[in-house]
Amino acid sequence: MNSMRSGREFDFIIIGSGIAGLYDALLAQESGNVLILTKGSIEETNTKHAQGGIAAAISSLDSPELHFRDTISAGAGLCDPEAVRILTEEAADRISDLVRFGVPFDTVDGEIALTREAAHSVPRILHAGGDATGERIEVTLSNLARLSRKITILEYCLATELILEDGQVTGVSAIDLRSKSVEEFRSRCVILATGGMGRLFKITTNPDIATGDGIALAYRAGAEIVDMEFMQFHPTALRLPGVPLFLISEAVRGEGGMLRNEAGERFMLKYASEGDLAPRDIVARSLVREMKRTGTDRVYLDVTHLPARLISARFPQIYRYCLDHGLDITSSWIPVVPAAHYMMGGVRTNYWGETNIRGLFASGEVASTGVHGANRLASNSLLEVLVFGKRIVEKAIGGSDTVPSAASEVAVLESRDKIEGRNTACSVTALESLLWENVGIVRSAQKLEETAETLALWERGLRPASDRPSFEIANMVLVGRLMAEAALTREESRGAHYRSDFPQSSDNWIKHIVFRKSRDKDGSGAQVI
Ligand code: FAD
Ligand code: SIN
């Protein structure tokens, strides 16, 4: 690696070029110069893959209050009501921002078209290009960012460390992946917009970039990481032999698609009164139970009763992807399985996106603002980015405060430095399988313990990261460990977190698990608040 070059200075540094990074940059450029660092090409993001759309109460049948209630109800007791209030009340204004930026939402008779997704009581989801919502957003915002003279975009630039001085963030260290040079960039305002961590699991809807880097960077810098046990599994990812996994949007069920088992029976009503449109965690677990009961490794989504023209027009990407792989969904059922999809937890923020480190903000999937609780309501994540992104930029311009930690009870987790070696070698493939098997849809103490120990061992054996693969694996091991330890600590089942040894929810667990790096040694500090 080439030696360090230092010091280009910016008013704002944003790590990530998905909807969070781009939207925040477009707002921030009005007040100063902005640097966006992104580890791949600009569009390599989860955002680009978003299908269903963005939830917002904009129809006359709907209200922020109803959206609030649906979000709280899906969150299974762990949403922060004030954060949800902000989300649902500021939604319509933020959608107007996207319209102003030029995002081409689909319309019917001149009005924005709305669809339904699971656990929303009314049609409330705006979409673009049918099921290409994320791609339309990514292209629109990245084109604007590229045109701006106030925004510098560095692609293939991997952020590897947050730089702090006296508890204040002052910059970011990064590797230019093409020249291999290391560079430091300076700013007193750094926005983490690094997205999610689905790649920790063997079966996932997420693209390669989703390795949890932002959570690892923030944790190492001393930020609080919360709710890591709440990974959301999407019930319906296409399963065709030899074909890369592909999401089949929940909006397909919203438009009338039906789940069937191998024998063609509709089974969801056996498991939930809302049937096919029950909350996502319930549908995902029901699929697992039904597959086990029938001895199969998939179920089916049936849209063959819907008009063929409706399917191809409303879901052009899904229709085309399946057809390109030999499946005509207008006449054949779609084989589907659950897949790791979205991290509800992340870097803990207040209502202004501030973390407990001065000058460090978290935006988008890397953040945990409190709106999702134990289970995110479909299509609330793109909305969360807009609502809290706007607040982040307002706060950053006005000057960031240090955010006091609200933590009360403190429990310190084992550092696990006494475990002796097991013979498994650390690799991405081994990690993805370990997490999928042991920290997946159904968990238990024994498997979680085993996983935490294995990851702790792997962590000890890692060499200092010097390139993208070694940096990503180090992050995945750390973030996987935070997830396994949190899941082990929460001895109950709630939302997306299901423990076969504690299958019920418990009122004792209406609280959050917060990790912060302990100051005296390498072990993790966990606070239960
Ligand atoms: P991302 O869009 O993932 O962007 C993260 C960025 O950070 C990338 O540019 C990445 O390269 C960069 N990065 C990461 N680490 C580093 C590093 N170390 N250095 C430099 N750069 C780095 N949500 C909805 O609300 N509605 C939907 O319909 C919907 N559908 C979805 C469908 C799929 C298949 C998936 C995977 C997710 C979907 N979601 C949906 C979730 C939603 O898309 C994401 O939560 C959201 O797009 C996250 O945006 P983001 O900007 O936070 O992260
Ligand atoms: C989907 O289209 O099913 C994904 C929606 C989401 O994850 O919010």
Ligand 1 pocket at CB < 6 A: 15-21, 37-40, 44-47, 49-54, 133-134, 158-159, 193-196, 205-206, 209, 213-214, 247, 342, 364-365, 379-382, 385
Give the whole-angstrom CA distance, residue 438 versus residue 487: 10
pLDDT digits (tens, 9 = 90+) for 452-504: 999 999 998 888 888 999 999 999 999 999 999 999 999 999 999 999 999 99
Distance 181 CA to ligand 2 centre (A): 38
Nearest to 21 by CA among 170, 142, 163: 142
Residue 49: half-sphere exposure toward Cβ, Cα within 13 Å: 21
pLDDT digits (tens, 9 = 90+) for 366-389: 999 999 999 999 999 999 999 999
Q: Which atom of ligand 2 is nearest to the CA of 131?
A: 2
Phi, psi of 423 (to 5 degrees): -90, 25
Distance 16 CA to ligand 1 centre (A): 9
Nearest to 388 by CA among 103, 85, 142, 87: 87
Residue 476 is given by DSSP the state H
Give the whole-angstrom CA distance, residue 6 versus residue 11: 16
Contact by Cβ (8 Å): 58, 99: no
Q: What is the pLDDT of residue 411?
A: 41
Q: Would you call 280 a catalytic residue per the annotation?
A: yes
* Mean pLDDT computed over every residue of the chain: 93
pLDDT digits (tens, 9 = 90+) for 395-434: 999 876 655 454 433 344 567 877 776 667 899 999 999 9
Residue bearing the bigger pLDDT, 522 or 179: 179
Quick one: which H or E segment has residue 321?
helix 316-324
Q: What is the pLDDT of residue 422?
A: 65
Distance 293 CA to ligand 1 centre (A): 34
Rounded mean pLDDT, 520-528: 58
Ligand 2 atom 1 nearest Cα: 249
Q: What is the pLDDT of residue 316?
A: 97
Q: By percentage, how much of the chain surpasses pLDDT 90?
A: 88
Q: Which atom of ligand 2 is nearest to the CA of 377?
A: 8
Q: What is the pLDDT of residue 402?
A: 59
Distance 517 CA to ligand 2 centre (A): 33
Which-ligand-closest: CA of 232? 2
Q: What is the pLDDT of residue 522?
A: 47
Distance 209 CA to ligand 1 centre (A): 9
How far CA 151 is from CA of 138, 311, 315, 398, in Å, comes to: 16, 40, 34, 20
The structure tokens listed for 92 are 């319509």
Q: What is the pLDDT of residue 527?
A: 66
pLDDT digits (tens, 9 = 90+) for 305-348: 999 999 999 999 999 999 999 999 999 999 999 999 999 999 99
Ligand 1 atom 39 nearest Cα: 50
The pick from 45, 127, 366 for probing ligand 1's pocket by mutation, whose C-beta has the most ligand atoms within 8 angstroms, reads 45
How far CA 82 is from CA of 68, 372, 378, in Å, comes to: 10, 12, 19
Ligand 2 pocket at CB < 6 A: 51-52, 249-251, 342, 378-379, 381
Contact by Cβ (8 Å): 52, 60: no
Q: DSSP string covering 353-405, please?
A: SB-SSBTEEE-GGGEE-SSSTTSPPTTHHHHHHHHHHHHHHHHHHH-PPPPPP
Torsion of CA 41, 45, 47, 51, to 10 degrees: 100
Q: By percentage, how much of the chain surpasses pLDDT 70?
A: 93
The structure tokens listed for 269 are 């009503």
Give the whole-angstrom CA distance, residue 236 versus residue 246: 9
Ligand 1 atom 28 nearest Cα: 52
Give the whole-angstrom CA distance, residue 497 versus residue 338: 14
Rounded mean pLDDT, 148-177: 97
How do beta strands 225-226 and 346-348 pair?
antiparallel
Q: What share of the chain is helix, strand, coil (3-state, %, to 5)?
A: 35, 20, 40
Q: What is the pLDDT of residue 375?
A: 95
Helix (H, G, I), strand (E, B) or coil at 197: coil
Distance 255 CA to ligand 2 centre (A): 13
The structure tokens listed for 475 are 């992050």
Helix (H, G, I), strand (E, B) or coil at 331: coil
Ligand 1 atom 36 nearest Cα: 206
Which-ligand-closest: CA of 380? 1
Q: What is the pLDDT of residue 7?
A: 82
Contact by Cβ (8 Å): 280, 378: yes
Rounded mean pLDDT, 242-271: 96
Domains in the chain, CATH or no CATH each: 234-340 (3.90.700.10), 406-528 (1.20.58.100)
Contact by Cβ (8 Å): 481, 474: no
Over 60: is that where the pLDDT of 293 sits? yes
Give the whole-angstrom CA distance, residue 176 versus residue 213: 16
Q: What is the pLDDT of residue 409?
A: 36
How far CA 124 is from CA of 19, 79, 107, 119, 352, in Å, comes to: 20, 20, 13, 11, 25
Ligand 1 atom 6 nearest Cα: 16
C-alpha angle 358/390/84, rounded to 5°?
90
Over 50: is that where the pLDDT of 269 sits? yes
* Strand ordering across the sheet containing 258-260: 246-247, 231-238, 334-343, 299-302, 258-260
Q: What is the pLDDT of residue 453?
A: 93
Distance 116 CA to ligand 2 centre (A): 11
Nearest to 131 by CA among 224, 212, 250: 250
Give the whole-angstrom CA distance, residue 327 versus residue 262: 17
Ligand 1 atom 33 nearest Cα: 50
Single pTM value for the model: 0.96
Q: What is the pLDDT of residue 408?
A: 34
Catalytic annotation, pick one of 280, 298, 391, 416:
280
